[in-house]
């Protein structure tokens, strides 16, 4: 049985949230600044309730928070959650790059022996 840490669970939630095109688009839109659910919903051919569900997924993942401003609850992007995902991706990229470099070196040695 594999145990997962809180950080791993958060990362899982971020990647799950980002697996949907609409949610990625909402994240991209919020990178330009706050927006209400109504403002976000205007961009999509779906109900306000459907957009709200997407936002709830983003909130649970930590990618989005909702504040209070008078009568509205604007959504805002939380860059720290994206940074965690980016760090994981960068570490994986480094690992695979190192592996590919070692493979390339090994193949070059093998080819040198055959000639």
Whether 88 contacts 11, CB under 8 Å: yes
| Per-residue pLDDT, 84 | 87
The 8-class DSSP code of residue 65 comes to E
| Per-residue pLDDT, 115 | 47
Determine the structural domain holding residue 58 and report its residue range. Answer: 6-114
Q: Which two tokens stand for residue 82?
A: 């994206």
- Is residue 1 in a domain? no
- Is residue 37 in a domain? yes
| Per-residue pLDDT, 3 | 63
Tell me which residues of the chain have a pLDDT lower than 50.
Answer: 115
| Per-residue pLDDT, 6 | 73
- Is residue 50 in a domain? yes
How many of the other CB atoms lie within 10 Å of CB of 55?
22
- CATH number for position 69: 1.10.10.10
Whether 109 contacts 101, CB under 8 Å: no
Instruction: Give the count of domains, the chain.
Output: 1
| Per-residue pLDDT, 66 | 92
pTM: 0.76
**Calpha distance 28→77 (Å, rounded):** 9
């Amino acid at each position: 049985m594999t145990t997962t840490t809180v950080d791993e669970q958060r990362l899982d939630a971020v990647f799950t949230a980002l697996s949907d095109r609409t949610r990625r688009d909402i994240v991209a839109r919020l990178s330009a600044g706050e927006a209400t659910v109504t403002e976000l919903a205007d961009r999509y051919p779906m109900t306000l309730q459907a957009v709200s569900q997407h936002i709830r997924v983003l909130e649970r993942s930590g990618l989005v928070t909702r504040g209070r401003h008078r009568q509205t609850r604007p959504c805002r992007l939380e860059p720290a959650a994206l940074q965690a995902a980016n760090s994981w991706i960068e570490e994986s990229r480094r690992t695979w790059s190192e592996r590919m470099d070692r493979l390339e070196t090994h193949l070059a040695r093998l080819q040198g022996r055959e000639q």
